[in-house]
């Protein structure tokens, strides 16, 4: 089931087509990676999904119904890239206030805050002020505030920036736990290794348009270059075969590119038949980082201003 | 609706619980009264005591006459110098303790006097210093005239008698223009301070929410309009609370003074008498009621504009100053209109300034103590209130449209022109 469907969404600003006809579906319970270079239109897209901006045209369907910013706010939890909290307000009161703005009752909110503070070892924070917190601590608090009202869709914009590995793992585990319980998570980032680790499904946007959409495995398969790595006990001299080309040798590891019409078995057969002892053989899929760079490369690092006719 | 109440609550409680609110509530009236009495005290203190040497060639200014007027006040003292010492005094009057000297020529007669006399001094004096000296010289001459005409002390007393004029307002028997003027000034200035202080609080609050990026989190739960209105109403309630605390304090002082001071002639009794006089000559409940109305409506009118500016600026407070200048000017201009309005509360400038929305909160509050419906007819009050409500609805609408764009817009400071463009975009 799709929790969120986006259909032909457009948002033009005075000097930019921030989001230019993007469609996508997000399945319930998935961890969805929204990727793209700076200024690609990710934030604008997210702001439309969270009801901060109205789209110029197109539809957003939440749980199959047209998205209504005012009433659907309680289903969505949004953690923006630039963290925002009242600096002078006590942490407990602040969490309570923001949860109640999402429509929670006071007692329910209080109960949930205590539960989360306990889980993330923040129990003695209640009466501290935000200005007393370190950046990482603020990050944890912001995460709790985002998930407190048990939203069915959580949007996290760069959630790990500023967190040490221990706390990053803590948050990562919480994200997995929430997804297991059926919460859908949209995860916006530039950090590809995190995406590979966490996300099931990814969408890449650039210059306001969607340029890639699929599961992490599908995408990798689509972009694979038929590269395989073989480790041999002894690397023979002058490897030559019609089935493949050697693209790199390092110690006892050989990287081969299989030619059109041949299969991995042909590679193995070649080495078995010439008497080499094979230690390991594996497919080498491109990393998301490589795919990202390949797709985005060549477009200017920052988007240029353009004239939008009214 | 529920969410707006939550926002109002937060804005109100976080401000009222702050120590600065309590200190401000106590300190403001103290400073305000201190300012009024302090300037009066300083003005009194700086009055000069002039010592003037009189050198009389006419023979009319004898010691007895001069000394009799010296007792009138302490602002100046005359000392008659014998003509024989004239040269000496003229050369060294300042080293002998005089501020100046006056030579009365021999041509000075009791009938015609002389055209003018000259005070010779090495300093310069303002009119407030010279007027009493002039008065005293004439008093001495009067004594000369009386003696020459044969008018003795009893006849003099008859001549000195004068009658004072008081306005009897036939429609409003208890009206007292003096009290109304004071109450008018107090109301006008209080309104001015509240609009400026709390207006800029709204502006800073909005900017704080924008720069700390909390606005983005909150706006994903509530509409920008709700956030703006919540802030404005919350801070408006703080202003109202402060005002009500002051009113309550005045009533408590009045009542305590009345019970404890009734049988004594202490200072508190005098104060109670003063307040009682205010109560009889000014319709106090009406003034307080109108003040609350104009406080809230005027605050909404201006603070929504301040909120729009707060949403447009970034961290730099200089941006805030240059953008809010036109709005602050409107408030200052209203105070400038208030002075002529109090001097003549029925003049056309007073009437119009108290009806047009931007100046009406201050100018109307300055006029109301003069009496409704005599000085301020009911139609004027009604029209002024109606226009102000319409006015704040317009400014709120206008501000909300700037606000919703500005609050999420980072980077360059927009100009007024750009902000107006935001307001009228679909």
Is residue B227 within 8 angstroms of chain A, CB to CB? Answer: no
For residue B172, the model assigns a pLDDT of 63
CA distance to partner chain A, nearest, from residue B396 (Å): 20
The percentage of chain B sitting over the pLDDT mark of 90, rounded to a whole number, equals 25
Which one of B6, B10, B216 has the shortest CB-CB distance to A84?
B216
Convert the pLDDT of each residue in B166-189 to its tens digit: 777 666 666 677 888 888 888 898
Comparing B30-39, B193-202, B303-312, the range with the smallest average pLDDT is B30-39
Task: Please report, for residues A193, A200, A262, the alpha-carbon distance to residue A286 in angstroms, rounded to integers and kept in the order given.
Answer: 12, 16, 20
Contacts 24+ apart (CB under 8 A), A42-46: A42/A157, A42/A188, A42/A205, A43/A81, A43/A157, A43/A188, A44/A11, A44/A18, A44/A19, A45/A6, A45/A9, A45/A11, A45/A19, A45/A205, A46/A78, A46/A155, A46/A157, A46/A186, A46/A188
User: Closest residue of A to B410, CA-based?
Assistant: A82
Is residue B6 within 8 angstroms of chain A, CB to CB? Answer: yes
Q: Is the pLDDT of residue B226 over 70?
A: yes
Which of the four pLDDT bands, split at 50, 70 and 90, describes residue B372? Answer: confident
Average pLDDT over residues B80-101: 82
State the DSSP code for A74: G
Is residue A11 within 8 angstroms of chain B, CB to CB? Answer: no
For residue B5, the model assigns a pLDDT of 92
For residue B297, the model assigns a pLDDT of 94
A145 contacts in chain B (CB < 8 Å): 217
Convert the pLDDT of each residue in A75-105 to its tens digit: 888 988 877 888 888 899 999 999 998 888 9
Counting one residue from chain A and one from chain B, the pairs whose CB atoms sit within 8 A come to 56
Residue A83 CA to residue A138 CA, distance in Å, equals 8
Q: Is the pLDDT of residue B388 over 90?
A: yes
Which one of B7, B213, B223 has the shortest CB-CB distance to A84?
B213
DSSP letter for each residue of B31-63? HHHHHHHHHHHHHHHT---EEEEEEESSS---H
Is residue A212 within 8 angstroms of chain B, CB to CB? Answer: no
Q: Is the pLDDT of residue A51 over 80?
A: yes
Which of the four pLDDT bands, split at 50, 70 and 90, describes residue A2? Answer: confident
Q: b/e for A275-295, b at 16 or more Cβ within 10 A?
A: ebeeeeeeeebbebeebbeeb
The percentage of chain A sitting over the pLDDT mark of 70, rounded to a whole number, equals 96
Convert the pLDDT of each residue in B102-154 to its tens digit: 888 888 888 888 778 888 888 777 777 788 788 888 888 888 888 888 888 88
Q: Is the pLDDT of residue A37 over 60?
A: yes
For residue B299, the model assigns a pLDDT of 94
Is residue B4 within 8 angstroms of chain A, CB to CB? Answer: no
User: Closest residue of B to A146, CA-based?
Assistant: B217
For residue A177, the model assigns a pLDDT of 92
CA distance to partner chain A, nearest, from residue B246 (Å): 28
With CB atoms and an 8 Å threshold, state whether B220 touches A84.
Answer: no
Which of the four pLDDT bands, split at 50, 70 and 90, describes residue B12? Answer: very high
With CB atoms and an 8 Å threshold, state whether B212 touches A86.
Answer: yes
B218 contacts in chain A (CB < 8 Å): 84, 98, 101
Q: Is the pLDDT of residue A201 over 80?
A: yes
Convert the pLDDT of each residue in B327-341 to its tens digit: 999 999 999 999 898
Which one of B212, B214, B216 has the shortest CB-CB distance to A52?
B216
Which residues sit opposite B220 in a β-bridge?
A: none
Is residue A281 within 8 angstroms of chain B, CB to CB? Answer: no
Indicate the helix (H) or strand (E) that contains B148: helix B127-149
User: Closest residue of B to A75, CA-based?
Assistant: B221
A69 contacts in chain B (CB < 8 Å): 223
For residue B173, the model assigns a pLDDT of 61
Which of the four pLDDT bands, split at 50, 70 and 90, describes residue B212? Answer: confident
Specify the pTM: 0.78
Q: Is the pLDDT of residue B57 over 90?
A: no
Give the start-end residues of each E strand in B82-160. Answer: 100-104, 119-121
Which of the four pLDDT bands, split at 50, 70 and 90, describes residue B65? Answer: confident
Is residue A138 within 8 angstroms of chain B, CB to CB? Answer: no
In sign, the C-alpha dihedral spanning B338, B340, B343, B346 is: negative
CA distance to partner chain A, nearest, from residue B210 (Å): 9
With CB atoms and an 8 Å threshold, state whether B215 touches A98.
Answer: no
For residue A69, the model assigns a pLDDT of 78
**Is residue A181 exposed (0-12), middle (13-18) or buried (19+ Cβ within 10 Å)?**
exposed
For residue A303, the model assigns a pLDDT of 56
For residue B420, the model assigns a pLDDT of 82
Q: Which of A101, A103, A158 to mutate to test the interface with B (most CBs of B within 10 A)?
A: A101
B222 contacts in chain A (CB < 8 Å): 73, 101
Convert the pLDDT of each residue in B292-305 to its tens digit: 999 999 999 999 99
Which of the four pLDDT bands, split at 50, 70 and 90, describes residue B261? Answer: low
State phi, psi for B42 to the nearest 5 degrees: -65, -40
Which one of B216, B221, B223 has the shortest CB-CB distance to A80?
B216
Helices (H), A156-238: 165-180, 192-198, 216-222
Q: Is the pLDDT of residue A298 over 70?
A: no
For residue B175, the model assigns a pLDDT of 66
For residue A243, the model assigns a pLDDT of 80
> Are the CB atoms for B323 and B206 separated by under 8 Å?
no
The percentage of chain B sitting over the pLDDT mark of 70, rounded to a whole number, equals 92
Is residue A145 within 8 angstroms of chain B, CB to CB? Answer: yes
Q: Is the pLDDT of residue B342 over 80?
A: yes
Higher pLDDT, B204 or B69: B204
Residue A62 CA to residue A2 CA, distance in Å, equals 8
Average pLDDT over residues B275-291: 83
With CB atoms and an 8 Å threshold, state whether B213 touches A83.
Answer: yes
Is residue A56 within 8 angstroms of chain B, CB to CB? Answer: no
Which of the four pLDDT bands, split at 50, 70 and 90, describes residue B192? Answer: very high
With CB atoms and an 8 Å threshold, state whether A73 touches B217.
Answer: no
Q: Is the pLDDT of residue B241 over 90?
A: yes
> Are the CB atoms for A35 and A190 separated by under 8 Å?
yes
A100 contacts in chain B (CB < 8 Å): 6
């Amino acid at each position: 089931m799709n929790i969120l469907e986006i259909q032909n969404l457009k948002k033009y600003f005075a000097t930019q087509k921030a989001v230019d006809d993007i469609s996508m579906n997000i399945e319930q319970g998935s961890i969805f990676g929204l990727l793209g270079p700076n200024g690609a239109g990710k934030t604008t897209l997210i702001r439309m999904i969270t009801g901060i901006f109205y789209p110029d045209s197109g539809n957003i369907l939440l749980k199959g119904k047209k998205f209504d910013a005012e009433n659907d706010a309680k289903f969505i939890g949004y953690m923006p890239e630039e963290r925002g909290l009242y600096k002078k307000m006590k942490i407990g009161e602040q969490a309570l206030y923001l949860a109640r703005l999402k429509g929670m009752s006071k007692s329910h909110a209080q109960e949930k805050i205590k539960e989360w503070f306990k889980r993330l070892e923040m129990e003695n924070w209640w009466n501290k002020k935000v200005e007393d917190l370190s950046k990482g601590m603020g990050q944890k608090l912001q995460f709790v505030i985002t998930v407190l009202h048990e939203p069915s869709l959580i949007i996290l914009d760069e959630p790990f920036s500023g967190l040490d590995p221990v706390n990053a793992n803590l948050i990562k585990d919480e994200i997995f736990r929430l997804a297991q319980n059926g919460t859908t998570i949209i995860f916006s980032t530039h950090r590809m290794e995190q995406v590979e680790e966490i996300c099931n499904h990814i969408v890449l946007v650039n210059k306001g348009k969607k340029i890639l959409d699929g599961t992490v495995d599908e995408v990798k398969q689509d972009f694979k270059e038929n590269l395989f790595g073989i480790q041999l006990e002894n690397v023979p001299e002058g490897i030559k075969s019609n089935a493949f080309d050697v693209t790199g040798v390092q110690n006892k590891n050989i990287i081969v590119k299989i030619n059109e019409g041949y299969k991995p078995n042909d590679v193995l057969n070649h080495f078995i038949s010439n008497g080499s002892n094979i230690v390991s053989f594996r497919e080498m899929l491109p990393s998301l980082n490589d795919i990202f760079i390949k797709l985005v490369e060549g477009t200017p690092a920052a988007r240029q201003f353009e004239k939008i006719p009214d | 609706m529920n969410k707006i109440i939550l926002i109002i609550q937060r804005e109100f409680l976080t401000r009222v619980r702050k120590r600065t609110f309590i200190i401000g509530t106590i300190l403001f009236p103290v400073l305000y009264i201190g300012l009024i009495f302090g300037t009066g005290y300083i003005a009194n203190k700086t009055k000069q005591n002039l010592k003037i040497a009189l050198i009389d060639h006419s023979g009319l200014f004898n010691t007895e006459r001069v000394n009799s007027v010296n007792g009138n006040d302490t602002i100046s003292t005359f000392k008659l110098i014998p003509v024989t010492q004239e040269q000496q005094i003229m050369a060294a009057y300042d080293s002998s303790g005089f501020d100046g000297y006056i030579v009365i020529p021999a041509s000075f007669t009791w009938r015609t006097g002389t055209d003018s006399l000259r005070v010779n001094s090495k300093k310069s004096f303002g009119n407030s210093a010279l007027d009493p000296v002039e008065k005293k010289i004439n008093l001495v001459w009067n004594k000369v005239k009386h003696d020459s005409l044969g008018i003795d002390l009893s006849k003099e007393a008859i001549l000195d008698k004068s009658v004072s004029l008081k306005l009897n307002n036939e429609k409003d028997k208890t009206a007292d223009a003096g009290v109304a003027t004071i109450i008018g000034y107090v109301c006008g200035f209080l309104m001015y301070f509240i609009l400026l202080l709390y207006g800029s609080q709204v502006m800073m609050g909005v900017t704080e929410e924008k720069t700390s990026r909390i606005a983005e989190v909150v706006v994903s739960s509530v509409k920008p309009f709700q956030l703006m209105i919540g802030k404005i109403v919350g801070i408006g309630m703080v202003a109202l609370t402060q005002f009500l605390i002051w009113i309550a304090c005045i009533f408590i002082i009045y009542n305590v003074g009345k019970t404890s001071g009734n049988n004594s002639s202490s200072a508190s009794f005098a104060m109670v008498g003063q307040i009682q006089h205010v109560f009889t000559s000014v319709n106090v409940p009406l003034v307080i009621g109108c003040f609350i109305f104009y406080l809230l409506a005027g605050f909404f009118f201006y603070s929504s504009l301040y909120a729009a500016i707060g949403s447009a600026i970034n961290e730099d407070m200089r941006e805030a100053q240059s953008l809010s200048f036109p709005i602050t000017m409107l408030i200052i201009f209203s105070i400038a209109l208030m002075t002529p309005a109090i001097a003549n509360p029925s003049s056309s400038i007073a009437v119009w300034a108290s009806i047009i929305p931007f100046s009406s909160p201050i100018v109307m509050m300055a006029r109301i103590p003069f009496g409704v419906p005599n000085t301020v007819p009911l139609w004027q009050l009604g029209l002024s209130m109606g226009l102000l409500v319409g006015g704040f609805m317009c400014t709120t609408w206008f501000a909300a449209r700037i606000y919703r764009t500005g609050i999420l817009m980072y980077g360059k400071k927009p100009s007024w022109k750009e902000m107006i463009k935001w307001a009228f975009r679909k």
